[in-house]
Amino acid sequence: MPPQSQTLDHLAERGEAAAPALVLRAETLNHETLRSRVAVLAGWLARQAAPGARIATWSAKGELTCLMPLAAARAGLVHVPVNPLLKRAQVAHILADSGATLLIGTSARLKTLEPGDAPTACAVMEEAAALDEAKALGQALPPSSGDPQALAAILYTSGSTGRPKGVMLSHANMWLGAQSVAQYLGLAADDRTLAVLPLSFDYGQSQLLSTWYAGGCVIPLDYLVPRDVMKAVEKHGVTTLAAVPPLWVQLTELDWPAQSAADLRRLTNSGGALTVDLVRRLRALFPAARLFPMYGLTEAFRSTYLDPALVDAHPTSMGRAIPHAEILVIDDAGHVAADNAEGELVHCGPLVAQGYWQDAQRTAERFKPAPAASQYGGMAVWSGDRVRRDGDGLLYFVGRRDAMIKSAGNRISPQEIEEAALATGLVMEAVALGVPDERLGHAVHLVARAAPGVADAQEALPKRLAQDLPNFMQPRVIHWREAMPIGPNGKIDRTGLFQELAA
């Protein structure tokens, strides 16, 4: 039987009333105040839109972004968190695709929008004004009693082709995800989580939701340099830190105070594999901390984790299935693969999302009936990632079937970069590739052919891309070609280009 869940906003009810729950710049909220703020914000939101409407937020970490996942859920609305690093073109796509009826954002971000970026039916409101109005006019809503299978959030993530697609997550998906992570991490009410990852991603939201499920405290941080993270750990007595490999590399290069390093109880990693060398450096720097390597999919929240007791002996393993997840390795014939044989990772169970928002075609490509061997049945996420399972049941990553670029923990669509380059009119052809990089995991490289008659393309393209794409999508290097290589199928030889650049 699937595990029982509640509506997402009930997470606000779990902590001890007087215990700290959220450390903001100007104040610290205990769990009682957190519950009150969620209830009032929910009451205000319920007056802004009809049940089921999509409400988007585009802001740095703060009161709004931390409360909105629970407040929107309590109001019967669907939260659409927008990555604060995105620029107006990407935001315009998300607003139009989601059909958002309200965008709340920081003043500086909203000023970058141009006429038409926000659809006619989408109101735009500055963050501080929204919070002030909610506190003045909002009538507190009690915890909701809706269907846990109802849609709670749409998280936009890049695919290997095309524009970002919205992953539909139910209350049950997010509740059980929080419960699962809190369980296997061993989170407790006295834990303090430093939330450095973007709250627009599933891994970032997990910082909030799993900590509050356990009754703990969250300290949100938008850091400028890695040293800011180290200082925040020291200042707030942080016990839990989640990061992606490039940040871990930078953090291990700092001279940590002995007490701060000792206070950390657990380190969690996702968004890319840890190298053997990085595991050793983390273990040496934080000897008292339990290290949790993890593998996840936005389409299924999280899939596997490696028990910290096994990290030193199996540093390259993805581990085993997390609670509430069933992970199968399926061969090309559709059967469970033999030990040490390569197959596709298939995620089954109640953490599987509801598909992609208004995109039946791409939903059908990724969400398919579970294999016959599944204990859960129903729909499963066929990841496209190739893995193998050893005789002890530990999983190991083999490779990706698609062309997704993972850079500094961000999943980047090559096509989105290519489309941005072509839209400038400066180039006729463009190919974006992820080239292995020690610090980033993969660095974005762009191969381009200038448009005829454009004399300043090499100088102008980087400037235009800096205007049109967020920083994490910017090409590290642009390679200019007189002609693109063509493969046997008549298409640009992407494989050949990759082999050339990676050599």
What superfamily would CATH give domain 223-401? ANL, N-terminal domain (3.40.50.12780)
Cα dihedral value 173, 56, 195, 24, nearest 10:
-130
* Average pLDDT for 467-491: 86
264 in Cβ contact with 232 (< 8 Å): no
Flag whether pLDDT at 456 surpasses 90: yes
The predicted structure's pLDDT at residue 138: 79
Give the pLDDT band (50/70/90) at residue 366: very high
Residue-wise pLDDT for 155-204, tens only, equals: 998 644 457 899 999 999 999 999 999 999 999 999 999 999 999 989 99
Predicted pLDDT at 158:
64
What percent of the chain has a predicted confidence (pLDDT) above 70?
Answer: 97
Average pLDDT over residues 146-152: 95
- The pLDDT assigned to 20 comes to 98
Q: What is the longest distance spanned by two Cα atoms in the chain? A: 68
Query: 223-401: same fold as 1-170?
Result: yes
Residue 483 sits at the vertex; the CA angle it makes with 481 and 485, to the nearest 5 degrees, is 105
Start-end of H helices in 125-170: 127-137
312 CB-contact burial (10 Å; exposed 0-12 / middle 13-18 / buried 19+)? exposed
Supply angle C-alpha 81, 445, 423, rounded to 5: 65
Backbone angles phi, psi at 28, to 5 degrees: -115, 125
Domain residues of the chain, as ranges? 1-170, 223-401, 405-502
Instruction: Answer with the residue of higher pLDDT: 360 or 429.
Output: 360
Cβ–Cβ < 8 Å for 385, 403 = no
Alpha-carbon distance of 79 to 100, in angstroms, equals: 9
Domain 1-170 adopts which CATH fold?
Rossmann fold (3.40.50)
Encoded amino acid at 307, one letter: D
Check: CB of residue 319 under 8 Å from CB of residue 306.
yes
Which residues is 219 bridged to in the sheet?
A: 194
The predicted model gives 452-462 an average pLDDT of 93
Q: Per-residue pLDDT for 329 more than 50?
A: yes
Task: Give pLDDT tens digits for 273-300.
Answer: 788 888 999 999 999 999 999 999 899 9
CA atoms 460, 96, 203, 70: torsion sign: positive
57-112 pLDDT tens trace:
999 999 999 999 999 999 999 999 999 988 898 999 999 999 999 999 999 999 99
Whether residue 1 is predicted with pLDDT greater than 70 in this model: the reply is no
Q: Which fold has domain 405-502?
A: GMP Synthetase; Chain A, domain 3 (3.30.300)
Q: Are 352 and 359 in contact (CB under 8 A)?
A: no
Q: Take residue 283 and report the two structure tokens written for it.
A: 């273990």
